[in-house]
Every structure is written in C-alpha cells, then in structure tokens.
Amino acid sequence: MKVVSTLSRVLLVIDVQNEYFTGALPITYPVDHFSNILEVVDVARAKKIPTIFVRHKEPRLPIFQGGTHGWQLHSELAEKPCDLLLDKTLPGCFTGTLLQDWIVEDQVDTLTIAGYMTHICCDTTARQGMHLGLKVEFLSDATGTLALENQAGAVTGEELHRAILCAQQHFISEVIDQKTWSDRLS
C-alpha cells in the first residue's frame, strides 16, 4: 500500500555560496555535501516541492560581502530554478526576511533544510522553524561544516557535524539523509 503524504513541504537551501568553496570558510564535512545538495534540489523540482535559496550577506565581517564573488551562489546551484531567493544578514533564515510570511501564505507545515553551515545557519533556522510549529527535516548529508579552532577549543568538522545532528534530533528536527528523504517522496 502506498502512503500518500499530506505534508506541505518546502526545501530551504541555505547559503550555498562561493565563500564556502573558494573563500575563507571551505566546507569539508561530509565529503559529498555539495553533490547531495544538488541532488535534493533536483528531486524537489521533480516532485514539485517549492524550493527557496537563501544567500547570506555579512554586514560585520569581511566575508559574504554583497556583490562579491564569495557572496554569490555557487554557479551549479545558481543555474537551477528556485521559487524564491532570500537574502539574510543573520544566521536564522526567518530573521529579517519574508520567509515566515511565505510559509504561512503557502500553508507549509514541513521545512526541509539543506546547505551551510550545519552548526550556525542550518541549526538556527531549524530551531526557528520548530518554534513556529513546523516539522523540520534536517538533511544530514546535504548540510555541511568545517573544523573549528578558537578560544573555546578545537573540533573536527566530523565531530561538530555529528554533535549538531545529535542535538537537532533531540526534540528539534528529524535528522535523515538525502536518500531517505528522496525515497519518502516517492
């Protein structure tokens, strides 16, 4: 028996910008993060799931400066169609954007998250979505991060990614891989 989903989903593709490929913040984990992001965008389009691309513009730091190469969407993503392109200046995609209005207008109840970085913008947006009463699907292999070292300590990209996914699965999101997500839509 085929189960028909009554969920109204939107795929949110967060900050897949050149800064994460050729700039100061190269995403290193998981290895196939970018090809998986492109795959979920293609699946969403084939299944007629609305897709929103989000682009970060950083007002405080010398990265993601509007109009620069680092700020632009990666060319392979930029050539794909989307239903909405949002610009944001803070980690959460709902803060200072029209995302919440768009979701309410389209009666969306499920937010699928892909993109960068797992531990900042993806994590913050998932938490915001949950606070708004949305079901959140956090794509474990279509999000990505990097190793960090600062005054608080050091962590590998793998450790950071795994920790955020574990925290997300704990009452915030359903953490699944892109194949499970794609199969769910069949």
Residue numbers annotated as active site: 15, 88, 121
- Cβ(11)–Cβ(44) under 8 Å? yes
Cα separations (Å) of 22 from 25, 39, 70, 75, 95?
Answer: 8, 21, 7, 12, 27
Tokens representing 47?
């299944």
What whole-number distance in Å separates Cα of residue 9 and Cα of residue 13?
13
Pairing of strands 110-116, 84-88: unpaired
What whole-number distance in Å separates Cα of residue 146 and Cα of residue 160?
8
Tokens representing 167?
């925290």
- Best CA proximity match to 52, nearest among 76, 90, 74, 84: 84
